[in-house]
Structure 1
Amino acid sequence: MNCITYVQPGNGFMPNFQLFQRSNVNGPVSTINPIFAWLKSGCGPSSPTLIATDLISWTPVLYNDIEGNFAKFLISKSGKLVRRYSSTTMVQDIAGDISDLLNE
């Protein structure tokens, strides 16, 4: 909340919507939010290489860890995990995959 209030957008900003609690997406299995554990278990890593180790603040480091805040997962209408995208993938680059999935 301090980040939102004082840093960005700042100037004493207070959101008028419910904020969710911070949750772990990587690290010991017992601490990972169940949604992210499910997402990581159903799709392989988004990159064939491990993320930069100098940026890692958790242990253990696993090959399928989520590498950034903007990692994306494509899920079918039936709830099946279809594909995982890295945080550097632009949303417009996913449009074809979404279209293909909707046309199935």
Structure 2
Amino acid sequence: MSEALDRTLAALADPHRRRAVDLLRERPRRAGELAESLGLTAPAMSRHLRALRQSGLVEESHPEFDARVRVYRLRPGPMAELKAWLEAAEEHWVDQLSALKAHVESKAR
């Protein structure tokens, strides 16, 4: 497993960060909007957003009209890597379960 995938899984281990990702799937959002939606204080939301940024899951931008405002959006790369890893794991278990089924059925005859 790659270090990037490890960072993605670690970031998604927290339920608040998973919920923030769910909200960001809908559209980019301001940090304050995310905090309000999740019922978190600004400092708590800041810590969660820092973890999501460090994992590469989100990126931050500033509107031209106000550099103090931070808008967050999802980055597709980390989730695509996670999806590929999960598909490979699923394929492995499907193969394993198919082999087990074949073995059990052959013993039942």
TM-score under structure 2 normalisation?
0.27
TM-score under structure 1 normalisation?
0.28
Q: Which structure is higher in RCO with an 8 Å CA cutoff and minimum separation 6?
A: 2
Larger Rg: 2
